[in-house]
Amino acid sequence: MCLVLKYLFLLVWLIYTFASIILLFGKGLLLHRDVLPNKSACNNNVDSLRQLTQNCTNTNTKVVIIIVDALRHDFVVPSELDTPYTNKITVFRDILASYPSRSRLYKFIADPPTTTMQRLTALTTGSLPTFIDVGSNFASEELTEDNVIDQLVNNGKKVVFMGDDTWASLFPRRFYRNYTYPSFNVWDLDSVDEGIKKNLYPEIVKDDWDVLIAHFLGVDHCGHRYGPNHKEMERKLSEINIILRDILKEILGRENIILFVLGDHGMTSTGDHGGESENELTSALFVLSSSEELQPKTESDIKQVDLVPTLSTLMGVPIPFSNIGSLIKSALPQNFHLVNSIWRNAKQINDYLTTYSLQNDELNDKHINFIKDTFNMLDVQQSSNTFVKSCENFMQLSRRACEEVWIRFDESSIHKGLLLMFVSLYFSFLLVGSSALDHYDKITGKQVLIIFSIILPLNISAFLFYFYKVIHITVVFFVTGFIGTIFLAIFCVVVWPSLTQDFLSTNKPDQILLRIFTVSTTLGFFSNSYIIEESYVLHTSFVLLLWYLVIKFKLENKKTWFRNKIKPKHFSLKHWITSLNCKVIWCSIVLCGILRFSHLFWQCREEQGWCFEDGSQIKSGNSVISIAVIITFVIIVHKLLKCSGNLTGYSLNVYLSSILPRVATVMLAVHWIFDSSFQRGKTLPYVAYLPNVILLLTVILIIILFISPLLIHYVDLQEGETNLSKNLYEMICRIFKNIVKMQLGPSIRGYPIVYGLATVYSATFLIFSMLLCIIGGLIFGYVYAVSATIMIISIWILAMIVSVIRHNQCTKINELYTVNWLYILLWTLSSSYWFYGTGHNPSFPAIHWNAAFVIQSKVENNTWLPGFLILTNTFFSQAVHAFLLPLLLICPFSIHGAWSGKSLPPKDENEQTMARGELLLAEKSRQMIHGAFDLTVKYILANCFRVAMVMAATTIHSRHLMMWKIFAPKLIFEGIALFITLPFSLFGFILMYRVTQHINVLFERIMSQHSS
């Protein structure tokens, strides 16, 4: 127990150290723009235009803003294409033809990221939201930066809002009247839009408001669920067209109303958004004046932030202080004083940048001096046209300067994070050497206790200082990472003699190959093209490494422990087919075939235009095939467990492990059938909670198996015959008794027989694999459920192949307790590849957002559960590979009975035979715990090295053109994948220890009862 606690603490400490270092680096690289507390205010007491800052005017203009979420530009312009999204919104075309001097249509260009909350921030503040703010799209907080909504309210304007409840989170208590509806459930296409329709027409006819805002969500939700090339998109766009036509009829009959109809972003060909492709960035802006003619049109492409100064000017309120948008001249009525308005805009931008440069050093002297010189050259005595063009030129130059240097990197945190990461990895790799078990023995429990007594108070103190705002969170991360690195160095000093001996004795070809594959699969992170095509590189690297090991096994087969001592004199086809060589080769071929088949589930990036033109594989699938695959998998697993002696008892964990997975699978099949029918317009509401029940059943069984993980059954010979003759009533009573008492089997009164001991570890992990398959099928849906299932199958095939190869290479059983780095690299490559193989890639538009709505819950009050489901879906491969990692240690002890049928020839008098199977792991539990810890640490370090290389790449390319489109998303995805890998690796280690603990308890119980 003390040994396990020591290793558990070391694992948790190592996980905490690397997590802190990565967070420290992330805080430095992915900083957001500083928000200034300054607010614009009215200043009408000026004598000249040059002194004019933010004058406020009384205006009787009313503004109606209709936001159609994800209204892509090509949804509203005439097109010769016949698609579900073209030529459905025709009202703009008709109005432009009937009222050309009072209406305008623009291409409305957003700034990345194209997530709804960030777009709303830009549309109300006029500022550029930063990349990392994408994370707050699911947990919107009150907007404190100066914005047009606050300016309207503070200057006595009444704002009425209806639609997306994100506005209520950003602007609480601001609206005169407020009709908000939950926005997170993207499977709901109609509730928000219907609610708006119910309140929009009555509000328009009222005369007590100044600004009316309606935010429709149906088009965006339709894109997320079905994509733009679906008949549902045609329905939603036609509905919007009817709504807009009715609104325009009402507005055109009234005076002094300006209508803005706009999209906050576009959507990809698969209906997603969040990145910076052209389809995501371009939306539409339509402007209509109900009675006044507008200024002549000179613009065709408009930046979204340009809407803010335009609205402020129309309503006669100050332009928000942090705005960098430019006035849309052609959207102003002709009676507006254009020179005053454009100067006010330029003066506001200059004041903001001047103030910002005084508080931050992001705008260097070169930028700020250039901006000041350009502003000072503006001459109010020039002609109106020349002055307006000069002001526009100044505002464009200012905006470009901000775009170049807007993100301020905390270079100190970046450098500290990189240094600590690579130094920690260096010391960790030194400790995990060829004789790693000896190293771990030299780290005593007393030393671990001393470390714990030092680390815990220091970290608690750091968090307390942060809680009371004495220090910044980056200081906490640095303290944690620095302390962890120091103790790693101390451990290296303690075991230095053996470390130097390992270093001098390392002269194996496998080590060279290990370095080649590691470098080839991580050095490419410095290339944006590599990241785009990484799935192909991972596939190729995995196959090459796999076949290298197989061919090496074939060449060294004379040393194998499994071959028969007597070879046949003549070639025998039957002997060759049943030989171990043939089995390994066929398993390798099957594994390669599975990998190739998984290409069908790849989801291509926007940069891969040649790959999938419309991404239709994401939106369609066959539930029958998925049902057949998962049912077959569950049946085969159940049969395998039965054949190995497991699932034959009557204890609670065995009984539930036999029943619940099959029940959950049937329910999952029913859910998929109705889910596929629902997409065709049919639904049965009472089956909506089937996913909740399935998840509940699997979670209950997982908890039970963690508490009681043994699936074995034991009897004694004296009771063996009497048990067979019991009638049904007696058997039911016995089952009930065992369930109540949580017994493993009948009492021991004679010589015991234990079923399933030879596969005691693998049986537990196999039942967990079945549960993970069910969970994966539930979260992925029937479209991607097959990919999750074949991934788990490939993991077991890989574990079996590696086990045979390891047997062939070792000369003593003790060598099987330490897993070589080469096999861990192969496992890591598999984990990274299946991230792509399950339909993902490191870009935000590729996230399966529909996973958030598998479970029925009140998502408007709970964003944690949908977020957890999305994370589970996205990083399912990393979680499963980390949890099933102990198979690399377990399978060599179970593979003998499964494939060979021969005992391992004894190497000395005290050597046990391999016929005992996995029982050897329990009998040598100390070596097993050593090996499991060593395996877990190596796997963690392999994944940490990948993240370290991505960290280095993003640092070097921090000003690269593709930084925020390719490199930064890759860093975020790799970082989250590591954070998923760390705890699941720990869970796998704990489960293996739990099995060992229960086996020891069982043996003690048998011995005590048998001796008595």
Q: What are the start-end ranges of the H helices in 679-747?
A: 690-707, 717-724, 728-741
Q: How confident is the model at residue 28 (pLDDT cuts 50, 70, 90)?
A: confident
Q: Give 572's Cβ-side CA count (13 Å radius).
A: 8
Taking 90 as the threshold, does the pLDDT of residue 631 lie above it? yes
User: 């549309």: which residue's tokens?
Assistant: 123
Binning pLDDT at 50, 70 and 90, where does residue 958 land? confident
pLDDT tens string 480-525:
888 888 888 887 887 777 666 655 555 566 677 777 778 878 888 9
pLDDT in tens, 832-868: 999 999 999 998 888 888 888 888 765 455 667 888 8
Domain boundaries, the chain: 59-336, 508-1011
| pLDDT (average), residues 734-743 | 48
> Where do the H-state alpha helices sit in 82-230?
91-98, 116-125, 148-154, 166-170, 191-205, 218-226
Segment 862-876 mean pLDDT: 86
**What pLDDT is stored for residue 97 in this prediction?**
92
pLDDT grade for 610, boundaries at 50, 70 and 90: low
Stretch 178-205: mean pLDDT, rounded? 87
| pLDDT of amino acid 461 | 83
In DSSP terms, 301 is beta-bridged to 107
Q: What is the pLDDT of residue 472?
A: 75
Mean pLDDT of 330-348: 86
**Confidence band of 904 (pLDDT split at 50, 70, 90):** very low
86-112 tens-digit pLDDT: 999 999 999 999 999 999 999 999 887
| Rounded CA separation 261/244 (Å) | 9
| Separation CA 56–CA 49 (nearest Å) | 14
- For residue 615, what pLDDT is reported? 38
Which run of H or of E encompasses 213? strand 211-216
Average pLDDT score over residue span 373-383: 72
SS3 label, residue 671: helix
Predicted confidence at residue 406, as pLDDT, reads 63
Q: Please, what sign has the CA dihedral across residues 769, 770, 775, 779?
A: positive
pLDDT at 381: 59
The confidence band for 947, taking pLDDT boundaries of 50, 70 and 90, is: very high
Q: How many C-beta neighbours within 10 Å does residue 703 have?
A: 10
Q: Does position 469 have pLDDT exceeding 80, yes or no?
A: no
**Of 354, 312, 325, 380, which Cα lies nearest the Cα of 42?**
312
**Of residues 813 and 748, which shows the higher confidence score?**
813
Q: What's the rounded mean pLDDT across residues 117-129?
A: 83
Report the distance separating Cα 57 and Cα 155, nearest Å. Answer: 10
Torsion from C-alpha of 451, 457, 460, 462, nearest 10 degrees: -90
Task: Label residue 1002 by pLDDT band (50, 70, 90).
Answer: confident
User: Can you tell me the distance from the alpha carbon of 287 to that of 771, in angstroms, rounded to the nearest whole number?
Assistant: 55
**Quick one: pLDDT at residue 718?**
47
Instruction: Tell me which of 210-214, 350-354, 946-950 is least confident.
Output: 350-354
CB count in 10 Å sphere of residue 587: 18
Lowest mean pLDDT among 225-229, 264-268, 621-625, 779-783: 621-625
pLDDT at 89: 94
Both ends of the chain: CA-CA distance in Å?
Answer: 27
DSSP state letter for 903:
P
DSSP 8-state symbol, 598: G
Reported as half-sphere exposure (CB side, CA atoms, 13 A), residue 787 has a value of 29
Alpha helices (runs of H) in 30-155, residue ranges in sequence order: 91-98, 116-125, 148-154
> Average of pLDDT values for 358-383?
72
Give all strands (DSSP E) within 10-130, no chain letters: 62-68, 103-109
pLDDT confidence tier of residue 187, bands split at 50, 70 and 90: confident
For residues 879 and 994, what is the distance between their CA atoms, to the nearest angstrom?
Answer: 19
Measured CA to CA, the distance from residue 152 to residue 56 in angstroms comes to 11
CATH number of 59-336: 3.40.720.10
Q: Which residue type sits at 469?
A: K
- In the chain, what percentage of residues exceed pLDDT 90? 34
Least confident segment among 191-195, 364-368, 832-836, 921-925 = 364-368
- Tell which residue, 659, 998, 907, 857, has the closest CA to residue 187: 857
If one compares 561 and 477, the residue with the highest pLDDT of the two is 477
Distance of alpha carbon 300 from alpha carbon 565, whole angstroms: 83
- For the chain, how are helix, strand and coil distributed in percent, rounded to 5? 65, 5, 30
Give the per-residue pLDDT at 809.
Answer: 77
Taking all residues of the chain, what is their mean pLDDT, rounded to a whole number?
81
